[in-house]
């Protein structure tokens, strides 16, 4: 199993109750070194509250958070030293220049040299505008300055709350490759919250899906996506074909699209077997089309199901 040393962030039984409302309920997960971990959920699911607990802005009602082996509540300074974060928007001091902002935060951490400041500025490609006031920056530039301040202290764990909010498609793509670079080259673990699913699918190694303050599932993105996929069949005659499909237990969903086509939800490795069944019953298969299921489908399925329960 996983060595304890490889776990950068460990969350156990985390809960937060405000008044009588349970905003976060008994959340448990681990983030490993060099991993990009997605934290997925609709708005109001408790993502931001969880993130604020992870960086010590909100005190948990129950549970524990360990960062790099240090308990956040008992040993705040050593735990938070390993974290760089942007909580919600990258809000910096608008009346200071980019460099003054970085210098300001550098002074709050021991031993950050001017050279380190230049390094992170170069890393986020802000060298040309770093001496301009932040109020003149575009949102994308503020986002990059936000990442620069998060990287100043050479963190082991980067926590980003909705990092692509307000970025244009090019900016999102840039951010994605930048985060990949940080995880792969520098071994930084990245914890990303988002409500945009394909973004998480493209960026993350593993995801936790949170809904109504509870984690419904934690697994790798590949596993999640490959559990079930949609397969479209073009059959003739269609009605008999559908009857055969109904007899197969591993087909979870059958939906007639038009006179020839039917959509099924099934494990992809069973496609050949279904095809064989069709041939045995002398049904003409003129087309098989497998759709890779997106995280979106899974997510909607899960959260809908959850609401009914």
Partner 1 sequence: MFNLVYNEYFKLIRKKRMFVITLILLVLIPIFTYAQYKTAKNAMEQLGTSDWRAILQQQIVDQQNRLSSSRLAPEWKERIRLNIKQQQYYLDHDINPTAPGAPTFMREFIEGAISLFLPLLVVVLAADLVSSEHSGGTIKLLLTRPVPRWKILLSKYFALLLGISLMLLITAILGYLISGVIFGYKGWNIPVLTGFQMQKEHLITDYVHIVPQWKYLLMAFGLAWFSSIAVGTISFMASVLLRSTASSMGAMLAAVVAGSLLTQIAPNWNELRYIAFINLGLTDYLAGNPILVEGMNLPFSLAVLSVWSLIAIIIAFIAFTRRDVTT
Residues that bind partner 1 (CB under 8 A): 52, 55-59, 76-78, 80-81, 83, 85, 87-89, 91-96, 100, 104-105, 107-110, 149, 153
Q: Choose between 81 and 301: whose C-beta lies nearer to partner 1.
A: 81
Residues 30/57, Cβ–Cβ less than 8 Å: no
Distance in Å, CB of 53 to partner 1, minimum: 9
Task: Rank residues 135 and 198 by Cβ distance to partner 1 and give the closer one.
Answer: 135
Closest among 134, 137, 149 to 96, alpha carbons compared: 134
Query: Cα-flanking dihedrals φ and ψ of residue 188, to 5°?
Result: -80, 135
CA distance 87 to 192: 10
DSSP 6: G
Separation of CA 238 from chain center: 41
* In the complex, minimum distance from the CB of residue 78 to partner 1, in angstroms, rounded to a whole number: 8
Instruction: Identify whether the C-beta of residue 136 lies closer than 8 Å to the C-beta of residue 168.
Output: no
Residue 105: CB minimum distance to partner 1, A: 7
Residue with Cβ nearer partner 1 (107 or 247):
107
With 0-12 / 13-18 / 19 or more C-beta atoms within 10 angstroms meaning exposed / middle / buried, residue 121 is buried
Q: Which of 82, 61, 56 is nearest to 70 (CA)?
A: 82
Could you tell me the smallest distance in angstroms from the CB atom of residue 196 to partner 1? 21
Closer residue to partner 1, CB minimum distance, 150 or 298: 150
- Least distance to partner 1 from the beta carbon of 41, Å? 18
Q: Which is nearer to partner 1, 8 or 87 (CB)?
A: 87
Of 57 and 279, which has the nearer Cβ to partner 1? Answer: 57
Q: Which of 117, 135, 140, 136 is nearest to 127 (CA)?
A: 117
Q: How near is the Cβ of 82 to partner 1 at its closest, in Å? A: 9
**Residues contacting residue 99 through CB under 8 Å, at least 6 positions apart:** 117, 121, 130, 131
Q: Please, are residues 6 and 32 in contact by the beta-carbon 8 Å criterion?
A: yes
For the bound state, the minimum distance from the C-beta of residue 307 to partner 1, rounded and expressed in Å, comes to 26
CB nearer to partner 1: give 83 or 238. Answer: 83
């Amino acid at each position: 199993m996983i060595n304890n040393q490889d776990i950068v962030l460990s969350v156990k039984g985390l809960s937060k109750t405000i008044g009588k409302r349970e905003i976060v309920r008994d959340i448990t997960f681990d983030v490993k070194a060099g991993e990009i971990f997605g934290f997925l959920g609709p708005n109001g699911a408790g993502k931001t509250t969880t993130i604020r607990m992870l960086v010590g802005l909100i005190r948990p009602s129950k549970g524990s958070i360990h960062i790099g082996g240090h308990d956040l509540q008992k040993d705040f300074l050593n735990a938070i030293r390993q974290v760089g974060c942007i909580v919600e928007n990258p809000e910096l001091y608008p009346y200071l220049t980019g460099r003054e902002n970085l210098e300001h935060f550098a002074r709050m951490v021991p031993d950050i040299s001017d050279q380190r400041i230049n390094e992170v500025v170069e890393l986020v490609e802000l060298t040309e505008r770093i001496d301009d006031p932040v109020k003149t920056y575009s949102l994308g530039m503020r986002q990059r300055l936000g990442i620069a301040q998060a990287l100043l202290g050479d963190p082991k764990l980067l926590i980003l709350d909705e990092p692509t909010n307000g970025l244009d498609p090019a900016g999102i793509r840039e951010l994605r490759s930048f985060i990949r670079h940080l995880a792969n080259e520098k071994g930084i673990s990245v914890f990303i919250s988002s409500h945009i699913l394909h973004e998480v699918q493209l960026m993350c190694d593993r995801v936790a899906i949170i809904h109504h303050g509870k984690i419904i599932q934690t697994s790798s993105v590949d596993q999640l996506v490959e559990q079930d996929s949609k397969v479209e069949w073009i059959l003739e005659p269609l009605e008999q074909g559908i009857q055969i499909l109904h007899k197969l237990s591993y087909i979870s969903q059958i939906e007639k699209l038009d006179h020839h086509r039917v959509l099924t939800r099934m494990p992809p490795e069973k496609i050949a077997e279904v095809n064989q069944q069709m041939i045995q019953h002398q049904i003409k298969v003129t087309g098989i089309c497998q759709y890779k299921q997106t995280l979106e489908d899974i997510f909607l399925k899960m959260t809908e199901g959850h609401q009914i329960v």
